[in-house]
Structure 1
Amino acid sequence: METLQIGEITLTWLNGGVTNLDGGAMFGVVPKPLWIRKYPSNENNQIELRTDPILVQANGLKMLIDAGIGSEKFTDKQKRNYGITEESKVVEDLAKLGIVPSEIDYILMTHLHFDHVCGLTKLVNDQPVSVFEKAQIITSQIEWDEMRNPNIRSKSTYWRENWEAIANQVRPFNTEQEITEGVKMIHTGGHSDGHSIIVIENGGEQLIHMADIMPTHAHSNVLWVMAYDDYPMTSIAAKEKWMQYGLANNVWYSFYHDAYYRALKWDQTGKEIVAEVKRIRE
């Protein structure tokens, strides 16, 4: 498990599972000859995408950023459609760190699409129950509202079985929410209407978790947004704002989906990587 220190705050990446999705969809209108230079695809034009939560330990609290895809929850057809080649081992990874699910204090849900939220529940006698039963689940009010009342487009990713069992744990916020000193969630919209990013700051270091408005390092160009984004111009505006700020202030950027990097820093031009935490391939 890879780790990164932001001052006295520790980040640890957990194994949340793997999907393989169409590269064209993941890079939207960007031509393949451009994106293929930065992120390889297989013979089916699919790219490998992790769904790896980050354990954040700060001020005596244990927090997760998103929850992975879970395990034993997908049909063979769903596994094929989503290119799922590995299911979640989050609980097992936590056990290696001496942590049980009931010790998680907060789960910071950047948004509630299936590949981020399925790991919040497990099936017991074919019924979903909460995995992290004592955690407060933080997400934006807009996201929580759409999760429970999806529209004709979003109903394909906001599933009832992913929210009913954890509804009493959800603590929604509006514009931004400080979880603990040095850890803040900020609503951006874009990828989904309720999408949020996470800003972590301690000891003179900063990290921005851009979630799905920058799902991989190859999406750093502010115009490279996904076909999956509900509001692409909002994604572009949010990415431009936080890339300008981050590049000017030497911040780390972390990733949930990237198969190659866990976190990195670019120089002020945004073209050269100056520090990195690479994913260790087993």
Structure 2
Amino acid sequence: MEQLKIGTCVIRWLNGGNTQLDGGAMFGVVPKALWSKKYVVNDQNQIPLRTDPLFIQTNGLNILIDSGIGVNKLNEKQKRNFGVTEDSSIEEHLSNYGVTVEDIDYVIMTHLHFDHASGLTKFVNGEYQSVFLNAKIITSKIEWDEMRNPNIRSANTYWKENWEAIQNQVIPFENEYSVTDEMTVIHTGGHSDGHSIIKIETENELLLHMGDLMPTHAHKSPLWVMAYDDYPMTSVYAKEKWVNEGLNRNSWFTFYHDDVYRAVKWNSDGQILESIQKN
């Protein structure tokens, strides 16, 4: 099983389902002749993308980063359009570690798009209920506000089915939120106005989870941003800042969507020094 340890944090990945999205949309203005050298693409121009939450255990706490694609959240048309061939199996996967969904203390949301937030709720006895009943759900205030009042563009990805049942568990923050002494959630904007990244920092080690600012290892360049990004220049600036800091400090970069790598360390020339590949 893939595993990474930073300070007191032990990080694993859960099976959160998948999508297969258009490669052109995922790489924005980058020509296919360039991005297709770095990431596999099928004959429909789709690239495979996981939706696998990070499961972190530290100092007696059970923490998730994002929540997966959910179970039976998409209709057949949506599954076809988004290339979903697998739902989440988070509850089953957590049982491998002797943990239930009731044992989760925090769910940290990089943002609340459907492919990250659909696992927060499930349909039971005719209504949507919270999956992680005892968890504090952490998201930026900007993201939470837009989730509940989406605009004409974001209404396609901010679904009431994903927020109404969990609203009493949500803790919105302005700029930063400290989950533990080692773990901080930082608002960046970019992919969405309320998008956040997660930093795990010890005296000698650094991990950056860039969320959808860097959905795969092929998106390392600050200029390689998605057509899905609401504020692409904000994404560029945030990526430049945090990727450069990570490279200068020998950081691990972890992924939610990558179909090849769970985590990567690069050198200053962009060569992979260490990696954890997806089984």
TM-score by length of 1: 0.98
Q: Distance in 2 between matches of 1:81 and 1:48?
A: 13
Q: Distance in 2 between matches of 1:33 and 1:166?
A: 43
Q: Structure 2 counterpart of 1:41, which letter? A: V
Q: Structure 1 counterpart of 2:15, which letter? A: N
Q: Considering only aligned residues, what root-mean-square deviation do their CA atoms show, in Å?
A: 0.8
> Offset of 1:8 from its aligned partner?
2.2
> Which ranges of structure 1 fall in alignment gaps of 5 or more residues?
none
Question: How many aligned residue pairs are there?
Answer: 279
1:101 is aligned to 101
Q: Distance in 2 between matches of 1:238 and 1:73?
A: 31
Give the secondary structure class of the aligned counterpart of 1:199. Answer: strand
Deviation sequence 1:192-214 (CA, Å, 0-9, x none) = 00000000123521100000000
Give the secondary structure class of the aligned counterpart of 1:107. Answer: strand
2:141 is aligned to 141
Q: Distance in 1 between matches of 2:125 and 2:97?
A: 28
Q: Distance in 1 between matches of 2:13 and 2:203?
A: 21
1:272 is aligned to 271
Q: Distance in 2 between matches of 1:23 and 1:116?
A: 19
Q: Structure 1 counterpart of 2:181, which letter? A: E
Q: Distance in 1 between matches of 2:75 and 2:98?
A: 32
> Offset of 1:35 from its aligned partner?
0.1
Deviation sequence 1:209-231 (CA, Å, 0-9, x none) = 00000000000011000000000
Q: Structure 2 counterpart of 1:260, which letter? A: V
Indicate conservation of the 8 Å contact 1:9/1:202, yes or no: no
Identity %: 61
2:244 is aligned to 244
Q: Distance in 2 between matches of 1:61 and 1:81?
A: 37
Give the secondary structure class of the aligned counterpart of 1:198. Answer: strand
Deviation sequence 1:45-82 (CA, Å, 0-9, x none) = 00000000001111211100000001122111111011
After the TM superposition, which segments of 4 or more aligned residues of structure 1 sit over 6 Å from their partners?
Answer: none
The alignment status of 1:38 with 2:38, answered yes or no, reads yes
Q: Distance in 2 between matches of 1:110 and 1:73?
A: 20
2:49 is aligned to 49
Give the secondary structure class of the aligned counterpart of 2:161. Answer: helix
The alignment status of 1:75 with 2:75, answered yes or no, reads yes
TM-score by length of 2: 0.99
Indicate conservation of the 8 Å contact 1:6/1:203, yes or no: no
Q: Distance in 2 between matches of 1:268 and 1:250?
A: 9
Q: Distance in 1 between matches of 2:275 and 2:51?
A: 19
Give the secondary structure class of the aligned counterpart of 2:179. Answer: strand
The alignment status of 1:22 with 2:29, answered yes or no, reads no
The alignment status of 1:90 with 2:59, answered yes or no, reads no
Indicate conservation of the 8 Å contact 1:59/1:180, yes or no: no
Q: Structure 1 counterpart of 2:129, which letter? A: V
Q: Distance in 2 between matches of 1:181 and 1:250?
A: 20
Indicate conservation of the 8 Å contact 1:263/1:276, yes or no: yes
Q: Structure 1 counterpart of 2:68, which letter? A: G
1:216 is aligned to 216
Give the secondary structure class of the aligned counterpart of 1:150. Answer: coil
Deviation sequence 1:245-272 (CA, Å, 0-9, x none) = 0100000000000000000100023x10
Q: Distance in 1 between matches of 2:82 and 2:118?
A: 13
Give the secondary structure class of the aligned counterpart of 2:72. Answer: coil
Q: Structure 1 counterpart of 2:278, which letter? A: R
Deviation sequence 1:113-148 (CA, Å, 0-9, x none) = 000000011110231100100000000000000000
1:158 is aligned to 158
Q: Structure 2 counterpart of 1:24, which letter? A: G
Give the secondary structure class of the aligned counterpart of 1:24. Answer: helix
Q: Distance in 2 between matches of 1:133 and 1:202?
A: 30
Deviation sequence 1:229-253 (CA, Å, 0-9, x none) = 0000000000000011010000000
Indicate conservation of the 8 Å contact 1:250/1:268, yes or no: no
> Offset of 1:16 from its aligned partner?
0.3
2:10 is aligned to 10
> Which ranges of structure 2 fall in alignment gaps of 5 or more residues?
none
> Offset of 1:10 from its aligned partner?
0.3
Give the secondary structure class of the aligned counterpart of 1:180. Answer: coil
